[in-house]
Structure 1
Amino acid sequence: MPISSHYSARFRHTCAVSVLSATLAASLVVVASPAASADETPEGKGKQPKPPAQMSTVGGSQLGRPGTQVKPKAGAPALPKKLSARSWIVSDAESGKVLASHNAHWKLAPASTLKMLFADTVLPKLPKDRQYKVKPEDLQGMGEGSSLVGVKEEETYSVHDLWLGVFLRSGNDAVHVLSAMNGGVDKTVGEMNAKARSLNATDTRVVSPDGYDHPGQVSSAYDLSLFARSGMQNADFRKYAATADAKFPGETKKDKKTGKKKRGSFGIQNTNRLLTGDVGLDPYPGIAGVKNGSTTNAGSTFTGVAERNGRVLLVTVMHPEKGDGLEVYKETAKLLDWGFAADGKVSPVGRLVASGSGAGAQAGGQAGGTADGKAAHASAKKEPSGGAGVALGVTAGCLVLLAAVAYAVHRRWPLTRNRR
């Protein structure tokens, strides 16, 4: 069942060649109070948790510092006031430059934003027209209160149907069935952890493929941005992430009039409220996904990608401390607005590293002429088409390797709000 796309003019664009800077200068820093390690999920009870005094430096040393990191130039807009998220990051989706961040590498519960990594790992492996009859055991092991799309045992679904359930309804039932098709939950978790490492997402530890709260299951705003950037290189991932609503197969029932068995369908809508809107919240202009989540430990989490005037930004927001369930979208929208307004008016404070960057990932903010910079360049040459170092939606034959650690890609990436 192909997804039909209705492209509006404001979502179509052609992105120009962009180059990832090999040098990041010293920065203006606003620092929060340091604290002890936070490898485990904060529960949000009593006193609010504080970020570690030192976090990962993947992408640049400044990203390992607690607090807000930004380096404004003359005329730069001020960051939005009253942001309550424990962690957030604003980055250029194509160049990988991090424009500003707040506790970017703080290890927190990811909720269903972890499904981006699940899709990065499993989506390329299963043909979307493949049919599968769900076994009772496929739906075992889901956490209490899991979000569900409505998969039924003994019914047959296409892989395409199941991915609609994952992206639109954040269906843990669809995740578990796809995991069964991939060889089981344990195998899928192992592959997801390996995929995270290949993307240099060193803050991430997967325990369950659906993002449901488990002790020790963590990620970071930085890592979630890597997962989104990697996924958006895949055309199917982009279409699913941008689909606002669709039809999902229902149960097979006997028609009372004819006595024949008939299978119906029901409508599903994307739970990404920057894509579909909600009471008091309009869809964000230029939005094209990516994934939201909410659990007890994670609070609300969201990674969004949007385009304006040919520029594509990625914003990840984790666990706002105030507001209702829409606060994560409101703070994301504020940061997107700031990022577009700050175009050319801030110096980067780090970068989203390329997959396979190895030692160079730790020196992302250092000069490209260092030994680590050379290591990153050498590693990048070994894997020119992979991971987050390549701009999104790569057109065949358009990859160009530039300078020390820079990729540039000229490509067409239609950012669309799809309806099916």
Structure 2
Amino acid sequence: MSSSGIRGRVQKLITKYPTLRHIMVLLTGTAIAQIVVMGVSVITARLFTPEAFGQFAIFGSLTAIATTIASLRLDMTIMLPEDDDEARRIARVATYCNVVVTGLFTLAALVLRDLVIAQYGDPALASWLVMGGFTVFFVAQATMMQFWFNRKTDYRTISLNRVQQAIGAAGGQLGFGLVGLRTLPGLIFGTLIGQAFAFVNLRLRARDLFRPIPEGTASGRELVGRYKKMPLLNMPNALVDSVRINGITLLIGTVALGAVGQFNLAWRILQVPIGLINSAISQVFFQKLARVRPGEMLPLVRSTMIRSMLIAIVPFGLIYLVSPWMFILVFGQQWDMAGDFARALTPWLAMQLVTSPISTVFVVTDNQQWMLAFSIVFCAAPLSLLYFSPLALLDTVFWLGLLMAAMLAIMLGMSLLAARGYDRRRPEGTDEVDAGAEPTP
């Protein structure tokens, strides 16, 4: 078939299936962002030491936890109201929350400086952690605005924003490394450049979100009360999930910053196949799930699971086979442990690709309490294994990968049960779900 024939067939598919068009737009932006990050990482891995990346991993983990709760998950609620002015009001409340959490993070970084030194034995990390407040604000606000563009099905803007942030952060780190600032400040300032650049560009495009709200629109207090399940149930669930992911990095960092640098490189590189596929599918699936009616949920969830499983087999099979020597070949001899960590993490991250698109099922079906209970166990299990394991670090991470994969398989079963229960509801009962639903990997 000629190239023009292929393009014609693709165009027909995209025209017939709008969801596919949205996925392709997001996938393009995500692919460009990941390619940029991968290409720059090959160079920065030779400019910065594993110890410097270990320091930055601790910095990133602490800021990620704060970013998770910055808006009290009200940013996701922007998707729910029928009225755009109510969505704008929620965005205002989410912004106020972001500012408060940013201030609290900065204050905590100053007050708890000695505690950070005691845990990691690194005064430089403790001193530069105060810059994390900027990261929390930029990322939290950009995420909030992306939900507005998701509401408007403007996936092109979301896609462009991801590319801008990736190019800005990767280019900033590379630039500082090339001029000789090959320590933690170089990684921090390089990343902040990308985050600030993406935030400013998105803010300029989101003028409609910040235009004056007419009188008569529901107040922020009223809307928070209407969607109270978001801060009361969804936020704790997201916080527990963030503590699980970032707590693993923080615990490994107490062993050695070099070790957490190796682990973090493996983790970041393994996120590439997930990022290329999953973020695009998740964002579009999220918007589609918010509008699904009883009777349609289970087929949608089941087909998404099967599709994700088929997608995961080839890339993660190859990663398991080639990662131990590939990391040394690509990133240099100093990253000899990273490939072994990558192999150990493969089962977990393969299952993460499968479960992430359907993670919002519990919110849309008004079963946040299921996910909260699961998340607590899902958090406690890996952190307990890391803390109490008598095995060497690499062996412990191997068992960690298997444990997390098995638990995610349980989550798949829970998702199917939640979808089946939703489909059994009468159509007129769907209004009850909207009050507490949100239409995240």
Calculate the TM-score normalised by the size of structure 2.
0.24
Larger RCO of the pair (alpha carbons < 8 Å, separation 6+): 1
The structure carrying a bigger helix percent of its residues is: 2
- TM superposition score normalised by structure 1: 0.25
